[in-house]
Structure formats: C-alpha cells, structure tokens
Structure 1
Amino acid sequence: MSSSSTEDPTLSQRLEDAVTEIHQLKEIFHLPSISFGVLHHRVILRESLGERDIENNLPATPDTIYPIASCTKMFTAAAIGLLVDDGKLQWSDRVRKHLPDFNPRGDPRIVAEADIIDLLRHSMGVSCLGGLQLGPRGCHLLDSADLMPLLNQMSTVDTQGKQRFNAHWMYNSANFGLAAAIVEKVSGQSYAEFVRSRILEPLGMHRTVVTGEDIHDGNVVYQYTLLSDGTTRTQPPTDHWPFKESDAELPGSGIGASLNNMLTWCAAVLAAEKSEAESADHPTSSGSQQEKNVLRQMTRLRRAYWTRPPADPETSNEAAFGMGWVRMTLPTSILGAYSANQATREAPWKLHVSRSNILGIESEKRIMIGHSGGAIGGIVTVWTFPETQSAVCTMVNMRALGDASDFAAQVLIQALFDLRPRVDLMAWAKKEAELRAEDLESEKGLYVGEYQGFDGLFTLSISASGTGRDAQLAVAFNHREWTRKELVFFRKSTYSFFSGEGDELIMELFTYRDYRQTLLEFELDDAGTILGLWWLWSEGEERA
C-alpha cells in the first residue's frame, strides 16, 4: 500500500483493511482500474490498481489522468468565485446583465430575475437539453455558440404546467455552459485559458487537462464498458473526451485530472474555506493566510442553497446543493443518491434506507461536501470534510455494473472516521452489480425449452444452435417448424424475433403493429431458474 505513515496505528490498520475491500470492489465491478486517495491534513493514502490500457498492459498510477466529468462544475464555479472576488461580478448579478441574448421564452421572470446563484444551484427551471446535446457514442452535438439560442427554446414548466423557476430543482449541466460564457465575457479570456492561468497553474495542477492540447503524454485512461457477452471493450474513440475547447459541454463535464491533482485540489479548497471562515471570525488575524490561497469565495460556493430531503427523515439528515457542490450531513441515506448505483435504490430493494446500510448511525454528525462525475466509461467521486480538513477521492474507468467509485469512497470514509456500526458495503456492492448484470446476456442455453400458454393450446419452442455465448437462439410457433425465427438479444433476458430489417416485414408477412409484439421476455427467479416467458401476442391485450 502506497501511503504515508499516520500517527494513529488504528487508522493505519483501518485503511489497510479498506484497501483490501477496494481490491474486492475491483473484482465485483470488473474494473480495468481504480485510483483512490485520502487526505487527512496531509495525504495519508494514495494508490492505483489495475490498468489504464488493457490492450497494452499499461498500469494506472496516481498521475494517470481520468475524465472527472461533472466534477468539472467545481472548477467552473471556482472561476466565477474568483471573478466575484476580483470585483468583476456580484453574486446577485442577473444572468442577462452579462449575456444579453439570454431569453428563455417560457417565463419572463427567468429573464428578469435569474441570477448567478440560480444558474449554479440548478434552480433556473429551464429544461435539460438531453439528446439535443449528446448523441450516439457520446458525441457532442452543439458548439458553444448554439447553446444559449437552444436553451432559450426549452420548456420552463413541469408536467402540470407550473413554472419551475426557483420552485423546482433540476440538475442541468447546460447552466454551466452559460456560466463559462460569463467567465469569458467578464475576464476577456477563453474559459480554458482562465481555468489554466487562475487555478491550475497557481496550484501546480500540471496533470489536469481542460482540452486535448493539455495532454502531453500517454498516461491517460482508456474508458471501458462490458458488453452483453461479458467481454470488456474500449469505448469508441469519438469526441466524447477530451473535449474541444469550444465544446458547449466543457464547463459542465469536460476536465480531466489525476488522483494526485484531485487531492491537491481538495487541499486547496479546504484551506481556502477554512481561512475564509477564520477571517470572518477574526478579521485582523488571518488576512495574510487568506492572501496565500489561490481560491476565493469557497465558503459561499459550498454553502447550502437548495435542500434535498431524505426518504427517511426519522433516521437521515437532509442534503443541499450549493454552487458546483452538494452538501450532506452524515448519517444520511442520501449519500450515494447522485451516484450511478441506482438499481439497489429502486423498489423493491431500496437498500439505501435500511439502517444497516447508512454510514455512521451511531457516530457523531459530520458535514461532507463533494460531487461525483460520470463519464461515458468511468466515474469519479470526491468528498471533503471541512471540520477535519479531510477528503477522499476515487476514480474508475468502467461503470457497466454500477458505480464502484461511490462504494470505494464510502469504504474509505467509514475507515477514516471509524464510523459505527460497521456497514457491510461489499454485500451491497455485490447486489448492485448482480442487478446491473441482468442487463447483460445470460447463458443462452438456459432459455432452451417449450413454453405453453392458453391451457396448453399454444406453444413457443426455443432452440439453440451452437454452445455457450456463441449459441444462436431461435423460436418456432405452435410446433410449425417453418415458422422458425432467429432471436436477437434486446435487453435483460429479453429477445426479439424481428431483426430490424424493413423488408422482413414484407417477406415474413408479420401482422404486428407494435415492436413489443416481437419481444419474448424470459422470467427468472433469484437462483437463475427459468420460470417462463411473457409475450404480447396481440396489440391492446395483456401479455400472456
């Protein structure tokens, strides 16, 4: 284990045990690599496991650059904070003061009243761009110049027709594109130039990239996914990362950084926040320390602006969004709510509200401020703890079976603060990966057999040619061999007998009017035993 010695031998042992669990997480989630570190006044743990490049057997290191995705928002918010501290902006400035073309059509109040805080805390109420901004293979569909005109066209009302401005919280990365436009307008620099010159270079964050031209060596992760046949594949080399400097997505999710640099970032954020608080309490004694800090307005950025209540208020503390940060108080079931571990948070599981899965139920309350960032083939999780000047950072380059970075961060938090009672995070992680694996293709031989319905009056016969994952499944209808159709994998134990070719509709004389009528959905029990299959045999009827 690559770590600095700690004064507390018990903490050292807890961190060693945590590293053992993170090794397990790497196997559970089939990760190519995971990098993780702990700051506790100083860096006391940093380690990388696995490979940044599987094909060439290149290891990940604490200097390997990972896309940090939505953790970029921390840097964009920090850029705004610097300009406020420079006196070039005020938090109460209306967005339109700096961006005259900002004009959401659906609600004139947004044009007249939306300020920089509304922009950065996700309360403006303008719809997310979704598929208008990101296309197949993670490609970016908009240039920066297209962003505001398109946002002006977006809906500002909820499903009941009520206006959302400052009445509804809605996460929207596009808001940070507007924030970057304000940075450029006020500073006279490009967003990338400003972040480099005012944040990265002063902090010595030379392993952090804003655009592709910042990458000077090959120590960068490839991003991976897990295909339905269980094989690991590199995500296609499109423009999904590193981003172009002019890309509209850059300020919300485009930065990449190494583990070492993210630990440097956390230390700088905590130091700036601490000195600001001390300066407020003792204006004459801490000014010199505050001048040494590169970052400004961190206390303002990281305070609570929009409350997110827990599902179990009798047990858990609420969370709140700041500007580029989310703020929580342990213990809380909201920890992990913004991760990619959603299968176990949904019915019927809802493991997050089980008292046995909530960190620190019997420990003292603890403020934590952080964010997570999900790239096309990886996730980064960052949490800081102002009261103890601590932080954890975890980085992975696969997300197919869930969010290992979230579980790894919780493992490290539990070890760092010796939270009680101890939560078995490995059991929870295994269940998440198991549920997510259901989206992958099962062993095809499981499905072979005859399935009867309508009191045995109709039969679907499932057969397989070949063996293992290379087998080809087919279905024949009611013992008519000439009806045999090869099956195409659709999702999660579901196959279709329609290949997708338009001519097939003509040649096969299909009478179906809805693609769902071509789906055969196999039902399995928890042991993986086939119980039967469901088929929508007629439009407008219930499945049989």
Structure 2
Amino acid sequence: MTDCSLSILALFAAFSLLVGCAGTPSSARPPPAMDVRTVDPLFAAYDSPEGPGASVVVIHDGQVVLGRAYGLADLQARTPATPETHYRLASLTKQFTAMAILLLVEEGKLRYDDRVVDVLPGFPVYLREVRVRHLLQHTSGIWDYEAFVPDTQSVQVKDRDVLELLSHADRTYFPPGTAVRYSNSGYAVLALLVERVGGMPFARFLHERIFAPLGMRSTVAHEEGVSTVSRRAYGYVADSKGFRPRDQSPTSAVLGDGGIYSSVAELVAWNAALDRHALVSAETQRLAWTPATLPDGSSARYGFGWFIDEDQGRVRLSHHGETSGFTNAIVKYPEQRLTVIVLTNRAGGEPWRIAQRLADLRLGTEGTRVWPFETMPNTR
C-alpha cells in the first residue's frame, strides 16, 4: 500500500462521521461545505434504528469531505451501519473485473481484440466473433445467463457455469460490435478469462493484484465456504410487514459481474489508485474511460467497467449496482477529482440520485439528469 493510500485511509478513519477539510481545491473558489443539515435529509429513508441502512463517502481533491452511515447493517443483530460496513457491491464489481483485464493486457498476456473462443476453452463456437473488447464494452450481444436459470434452481450458479448456460442459445442479440446491450454474462466470462490467462482463481487474482497492493484488507470477492466478509451488511427487501431478509439469490455466487464486498472506507483507496494511475498507466486508464463508438457513429456510453457521459460539460463516470438485497451507486468526475459512493443493503431505492445530488452540492450545480444506464437496454 502506498503512502498516499495510507494517509487517505487514516484520514477517513479519523473523520468517520463528517470531515470538514476541503483539501487542495482544483479552483480558486473553495467548494461548498458538506453540511449535515443538508446531507442527512437525503438519507431519511435509510436513517432508521429499525431498518437497513446506507453508507456514503464523498472524496474531493484526494480528501474525504464526507463519510457517514445510517440505519442497520444487520437487523437481527441490530448492528449499526458504519463507513467500514462491507456491502455486496453488485455491478460496481465490474470496474474491478475490467481492471483485472487491463492488468493482463498491459503485461502482454491478453489483447483487447483477441477472440474469446481462441483463449477460453469451452466458450460456445457460435460466439466465435466475440472479442475481449466486446465483453468489456457490453457490445458482444451475448445472451443473459440469467435467462437460462430455472425458477427451481436450488444450487447457486458460479462463473464457470455461465458457459454451459450460454450453450442453450445459438445466436447473439446482434452481430458483436454493432450495438450495445448490458450483459452480466460478459463480465462472468471476463472473470473466467482472468483465471485462464492470469493462472489463478479470479478471487485470488483480485486479492493479490488489486486489493492487497492498495491496502483494501477486508475487500473480497466472496465465495461461501472459502472466504468471509468482515463487518458484513445483510440484504433486505421491504414488504407489507416491514423488512425481511433477501441476501442471496441463485445468481449471487457469480463473481465477475457482481460478487465483491467492500466498504466506502476501503473504496477510498481504490479511488485514489484510479486518480494516481497506481495500477495501470494513464494511457490505459484513459482508454477504459473512453466510451465505445458504434458503427453508426453513436456512443455506446460505456467504456471498460464504467458508464461514461458528459454532464454540463464535465466528463462523468458512473455505475449503479442492483442485486438481491443491495442497491448501490458511484459517480465520478475525473477532471474535478470528485467521487461520490453510496452503498445500501436493501432492494429498491435510487441511491444514484442521492449520489448525484451530493455531487451537485459539492460542484455547486443544480438539476436532475438522466444517468446513462437508464437508457441502455437490459440494465434493470
């Protein structure tokens, strides 16, 4: 772990409720302070001593300017949520899966334009024109493995099972590279590519090549019976009687598309690594943050693990995550060095709107804007 990551994590731990330090602002005018009287009402739905909660962090110019938590991480044990609570990241996992691929490409072990069928044994032959790049950018046209999981499924699906599920189809939604459609299947296959090319299990690769070097000591691609989640939040769903557990589904064990658990505290180190290009070069990072261009000249609005668009003249990176009992969001303005992360342990809600509101408060902007995932097919 680098000295910079250490100092940022130490700062966050010391100011786990609210940090008033603005760091070194990127403009001459100091940004607006993060006033709890403004912030707390945004989390009113999560701020209950009886219900599942949320954790939030706002990072600006390398400094944590807001870190708060609301509600409970575990209703049965009545464990309060904290900034150190670990939530299932759901599709926020995809930025880590993409990073694993970027590392292998920089090492010369893989190429973006490699045909997946030439690298991964068992990859269906009808997908022979699918390239690694297509999987990263959701332009592969691969069918959703969830469509082939029966309602009676009692054993959890793993990444390796996705290849067999994909064999139930015989065509893609569209010719690879010609359109965009969000695909969890693509990121499960990317995890298998990491295992094949990286020479170790996907969860171990993430730990050894990303989490451990960055000091993310408790972040884990969780495998039941193999690893544990410290300070774990459990997922819930609301019904007419209140909240009931809904922590796992038949697809919750697939790692590449959504299986990482982390906390907003440890994600501070991840964000710092992205800003400093600590894992891959600045050139590679720029490529990951550049949206694919479709044959008609339009933008796919997705790079490698990130939705990408322009918000009031600013480049905006974002992602949402929805899975059994968890709903999360991240919004990042790389040029303004501003990142907002909201993690929640309940199904439903729109934490991305809270994240955007916090970003607006910090940037001094106003307005309700559509997130790019809201217009991409198959994101809900």
Please tell me the TM-score bracket, short chain as reference. 0.7 to 0.9
Q: Give the superposed CA RMSD.
A: 3.1
1:276 Cα offset (Å) = 4.0
Spell out, residue by residue over 1:470-503, the C-alpha distance to the aligned partner (whole angstroms, 9 max, x if none): xxxxxxxxxxxxxxxxxxxxxxxxxxxxxxxxxx
The equivalences for 1:464-503 within 5 A come to none
Contact kept, 8 Å, 2:221 with 2:261, in 1: the verdict is: yes
For the residues of structure 2 that align with 1:139 and 1:269, how far apart are their CA atoms?
Answer: 39
Answer whether contact 2:157 2:250 (CA < 8 A) is retained. Answer: no
The structure that has the greater radius of gyration is: 1
Q: Provide the identity percentage.
A: 25
Q: Structure 1 residues 100 and 53 mapped into 2: Cα distance closer, same or farther (>3 Å)?
A: closer
Matched, 1:397 2:345: yes
Structure 1 segment 363-374 matched on structure 2, within 5 A: 365-374=313-322
User: In structure 1, what is the equivalent of residue 182 of structure 2?
Assistant: 171
From the superposition, tell whether residues 389 and 140 of structure 1 become closer, same or farther in structure 2 (CA, over 3 Å): farther
Aligned equivalents of 2:94 and 2:341: distance in 1? 16
- The equivalent residue for 2:309 is 328
1:417 pairs with 2:377? no
Partners of 2:51 and 2:340 lie apart in 1 by 19
Aligned AA (1:299): R
**1:91 positional shift:** 1.5
Letter in 2 for 1:57: R
How far residue 6 of structure 1 moved from its aligned partner, in angstroms, is 2.2
SS at match of 1:73: helix
SS in 1 for 2:213: helix
Q: Give unpaired runs (5+ residues) of structure 1.
A: 244-248, 281-296, 310-316, 332-364, 429-544
Report the counterpart of residue 377 of structure 2 in structure 1: none
Distance 2:56 2:159 in 1: 33
CA contact (8 A) 2:235 2:246 kept: yes
Would you tell me which structure has more strand in proportion to its own residues?
Answer: 1
Find out whether 1:266 has 2:271 as its counterpart. Answer: yes
Pick the aligned partner of 1:21 from 32, 36, 41. 41
Change (3 A) 1:201 1:4: farther
Q: Which of 245, 257, 262 in structure 1 is aligned with 2:262?
A: 257
In structure 2, the partner of 1:408 is: 354
CA pair 418-173 structure 1, distance change in 2 beyond 3 A? same
- Quick check: 2:293–2:299 contact (8 Å CA) kept in 1? no
> Offset of 1:134 from its aligned partner?
7.2
Structure 2 residue matching 1:149: 3-state secondary structure: helix
Task: Tell me what 2:211 maps to.
Answer: 200
CA contact (8 A) 1:384 1:391 kept: yes
Contact 1:384 1:390 in 2 (8 A): yes
CA distance in 2, matches of 1:378, 1:325: 19
Q: Which residue of 280, 287, 298 corresponds with 1:300? A: 287
**1:373·1:380 contact (CA, 8 Å) conserved in 2?**
yes
C-alpha offsets along residues 115-162 of structure 1, whole Å, 9 cap, x if unaligned? 1101211111122122424746x966534443223313325355xxxx
Residues 142-157 of structure 1 aligned to structure 2 (within 5 Å): 142-156=157-171
Alpha-carbon distance in 2 for matches of 1:38, 1:194: 28
Q: Does the 8 Å contact 1:76/1:179 carry over to 2? A: yes
1:193 positional shift: 1.0
What pairs up with 1:181-260 in 2 under 5 angstroms?
181-211=192-222, 212=224, 213-215=226-228, 217=230, 219-227=231-239, 229-235=240-246, 241=252, 243=253, 249-260=254-265
Alpha-carbon displacement from aligned partner over 1:378-408 (angstroms, at most 9, x marks no partner): 11111221102221100111124x32x1121
CA deviation map 1:92-116 (0-9, x unaligned): 21112211432343xxxx41x3211
Letter in 2 for 1:385: Y
TM-score normalised by L of structure 1: 0.58
Task: Rate the CA distance shift 1:188–1:61 in 2: closer, same or farther, 3 A.
Answer: same
Say whether the 8 Å CA contact 2:20–2:33 is kept in structure 1: no
Relative contact order higher in (CA < 8 Å, ≥ 6 apart) = 2
Decide whether aligned partners of structure 1 residues 10 and 386 sit closer, same or farther in structure 2, where only a CA change above 3 A counts.
Answer: closer
Determine the C-alpha separation between the residues in 2 that align with 1:134 and 1:325: 30
Supply the distance in 1 between the matched residues of 2:233 and 2:64 (Cα, whole angstroms): 23
